[in-house]
Amino acid sequence: MSNTLFRTKNVEQSIRDTEEPEHALKKSLSALDLTVFGVGVIIGTGIFVLTGTVAKNNAGPAVALAFVVAGVVCALAALCYAEFASTVPVAGSAYTFSYASLGEFPAWIIGWDLVLEFALGTAVVAVGWSGYIASLLDNAGWHLPAALGTRDGAEGFGFDILAAALVLVLTAILVLGTKLSARVTSLVVAIKVTVVLVVIIAGAFLIHGKNYDPFIPKSEPVGAGNSLDSPLIQLMFGWAPANFGVMGIFTAASVVFFAFIGFDVVATAAEETRNPQRDMPRGILGSLLICTTLYVAVSIVVTGMQSYKDLSVTAPLADAFKATGHPWFSGFISFGAAVGLTTVCMILLLGQTRVFFAMSRDGLLPRFFSRVHPRFKTPHRPTILLGVLIAVLAGFTPLQELAELVNIGTLFAFVVVAIGVIILRRTRPDLHRAFRTPWVPVVPILSVCASLWLMLNLPAETWIRFAIWMLIGFVVYFLYGRSHSRLARGEEPAAEETL
Please write the tens of the pLDDT for every residue from 408-443: 888 898 999 999 999 999 999 988 888 999 999 999
Helices 328-361, 178-204: axis angle to 10 degrees equals 150
Domains of the chain: 2-484 (1.20.1740.10)
* pLDDT at residue 314, as a whole number: 64
pLDDT at residue 271 greater than cutoff 80: yes
Peptide bond into 214 cis (omega under 30): yes
- Grade residue 480 by pLDDT with cuts at 50, 70 and 90: very high
498 Cα distance to chain centroid: 31
pLDDT in tens, 276-325: 888 989 999 999 999 999 999 999 999 999 999 998 876 787 788 888 88
Helix (DSSP H) and strand (DSSP E) numbers for the chain:
19, 2
* pLDDT at residue 80, as a whole number: 94
pLDDT in tens, 385-400: 999 999 998 888 765 5
pLDDT in tens, 40-72: 888 876 777 778 888 998 899 999 999 999 999
pLDDT at residue 498 greater than cutoff 50: no
415 Cα distance to chain centroid: 14
339 Cα distance to chain centroid: 18
Separation of alpha carbons 421 and 432, rounded Å: 13
228 Cα distance to chain centroid: 25
Least confident of 105-119, 401-415, 441-455, 469-483: 401-415
Separation of alpha carbons 166 and 377, rounded Å: 23
pLDDT at residue 469 greater than cutoff 60: yes
Mean predicted lDDT score pLDDT of the chain: 85
